[in-house]
Amino acid sequence: MGIDLKAGGRRTGHASSMKVIKTQNPYTRLLIKLYKFLARRTDSKFCATVTKRLHMSKVNAPPIGLNRLAKYMTKKEGKTAVMVGKVTDDVRMLECPKMSVCALSFTENARKRIVAAGGECITFDQLALRAPTGSNTVLLRGPESRAALAFFGKRTSVNNPHAYDGVKPRVRSKGRKFEKARGRRKSRGFKV
C-alpha cells in the first residue's frame, strides 16, 4: 500500500489542537497561559483539564443552567463549582441555593440569583489564587447539545435493543417518497 499523494498524502502534524491558541479573546488567551503554567508546575490534573477545555470551541463548551448546577452541587457545601463556559439562569427553579461558582461568564440574571442567595461568582484568575491545584472544587460541564448528536446512535451490542431508538435518520427530506418502505412501516416487511 502506497500513499495516495493526490489525495494529499498522510495526515501529519495534527497531533494536538492545543499547540496554537485559536481564540482572539485576550482574556481567554491569558487564562490559557496561566493554567498551562499551573498544569506544568503543579502536575495537577485539574489544571490540565481546565487548559484543555479553555482551548475548546464554543460548540464543545455548552452552557449550564442554574438548575442543573444546583443539582450537581447538592451535599457539596464548602466546595466551588467550576464550569469552563457560561452559566445561565433557569426560570423553572424557584429557590436558588447558596453556592460558590467559578465560570467564564454568567448571564445577568444568573449572577443576580447566585449573589442574592448569599453565594458568589468568581473568575478563573481568582480561582487560581484560591485553589491553584483545584482543591475543594467540582469540575462541571454543560449538557452536550450539538445538532449532530441527534444522528448518533447509542452503544450497539447484541443485547441492546434500544441502539437506534430516537436516532434521527440522515434523510434528504421528510416526505411521502423518502425512506418510507421496508424497515420503516409494519405493512412493508418490518418497522424499526
Quickly list DSSP for the chain: ----TTTTS---S-S-TTSS-----HHHHHHHHHHHHHHHHH--HHHHHHHHHHTS-GGGS--EEHHHHHHHTTT-TT-EEEEEEEEE--TT-S-PPP-EEEEEEE-HHHHHHHHHTT-EEE-HHHHHHH-TT-TTEEEE-PPP--GGGGG------TT-TTTTTTPPP--S--STTSS-STBB-TTSS-B-
Question: In a structure prediction context, what are the per-residue pLDDT tens digits for the chain, which is 192 residues long?
Answer: 677 777 777 777 777 778 889 999 999 999 999 999 999 999 999 999 999 999 999 999 999 999 999 999 999 999 999 999 999 999 999 999 999 999 999 999 999 999 999 999 999 999 999 999 999 999 999 998 888 888 888 877 778 878 878 888 888 998 988 988 888 889 999 887
Instruction: Write down the pLDDT at residue 69.
Output: 96
